Amino acid sequence: MVILLTGAAGFIGSHLTEHLLGLGHTVIGFDNFDNQYDPARKQLNLRLIKGHRNVNVIEGDIRDQTLLADVLRRYQCDTVVHLAARTGVRDSVREPALCLDVNVNGTLSLLEAMRTTNVRRLVMASSSSVYGNSTFVPFREDDDANLPLSPYAMSKRSAELLTHTYHHLHGFNVACLRFFTVYGPRQRPEMAISRFTEKMFGGQPITIFGDGNTSRNYTYIYDTVMGITSAINHLNGFDLLNIGGAASTNLRDLVSMIERAVGRKAVIDWQPNQPGDVTLTCADLHRASNRIGYFPSIQIEEGINRFVRWYQQSVLCS
């Protein structure tokens, strides 16, 4: 396959690029290297693929439909994996217009570029945030997802609806993957596991919003990459699929796991709940296992230990 991968220099995108190249695919990476976090980190994410004969990384914005169409034609792409997005619930509350412009208009730009170049295979990153504060646990793909709590959640649900429209009108084969808090080496620096680890090693307080009893379904990067790859291989019609870990983890328990891995006790700065945050995410994985053979394999404590070892070797020792 020749795969256009948007967001290729990001956390998930860089891991997926390496995996797809290892499988023998050609990857056309597309990334704008924006400053939501240090662009130098994104350049570092790509260091393992530099010089590989089956990859090209193009700097560009997904809102540039003309450029996207040119890339799809020039490299004769047959599949698109769309990971590029303006990420983060709290950032979206601060800058809702930018979030919607990138995540909704950018997705529309990509879909139109695909339509005009006759590319009909799409795997798109969505988010567990679309479920809001659902009272139906675990979250199933056929649950109502129409009460988002943040502009980010709304933008991801809107992007899902856009892809369904293109499936209906233009025969696109689409899988929207609802990711549940992905973590692991290269995780974005503002995310909890990365931020807590950095602060604990530095002897600084960690900030916890709320009472520490929120729970998240954490998904190790290896499992996420396996889920995306399986979705690529099973594209047929239109589907919504949860890609999550095996169970949800309480925030206090998560902090304890990081403390054990780091070997230091955390000093906690307790702060009020943040607008847009949900209290629980919990994935029902039956549909993903039945339709694409997805089964998470890395338990949370093992994943935390792997992340902390990577952090010690690649960040502290660099």
318 residues of the chain, pLDDT tens digit each: 999 999 999 999 999 999 999 999 999 999 999 988 888 889 989 988 888 999 999 999 999 999 999 999 999 999 999 999 999 888 999 999 999 999 999 999 999 999 999 999 999 999 999 999 988 899 999 998 999 999 999 999 999 999 999 999 999 999 999 999 999 999 999 999 999 999 999 999 999 988 888 999 999 999 999 999 999 999 999 999 999 999 999 999 999 999 999 999 999 999 988 887 888 999 999 999 999 999 999 999 999 999 999 999 988 776
Neighbours of 15 (CB within 10 A): 21
Domains with residue ranges and CATH for the chain: 2-316 (3.40.50.720)
The half-sphere exposure of 181 on its side-chain side, counting CA atoms within 13 A, is 25
The half-sphere exposure of 51 on its side-chain side, counting CA atoms within 13 A, is 2
Residues carrying an active site annotation: 152
pTM beyond 0.85: the answer is yes
Please identify which residue in the block is written with the tokens 């954490």.
218
One DSSP character per residue, 162-203 reads: HHHHHHHHH--EEEEEEE--EESTT--TTSHHHHHHHHHHTT
| Phi and psi at residue 258, to the nearest 5° | -65, -40
pLDDT at 173: 98
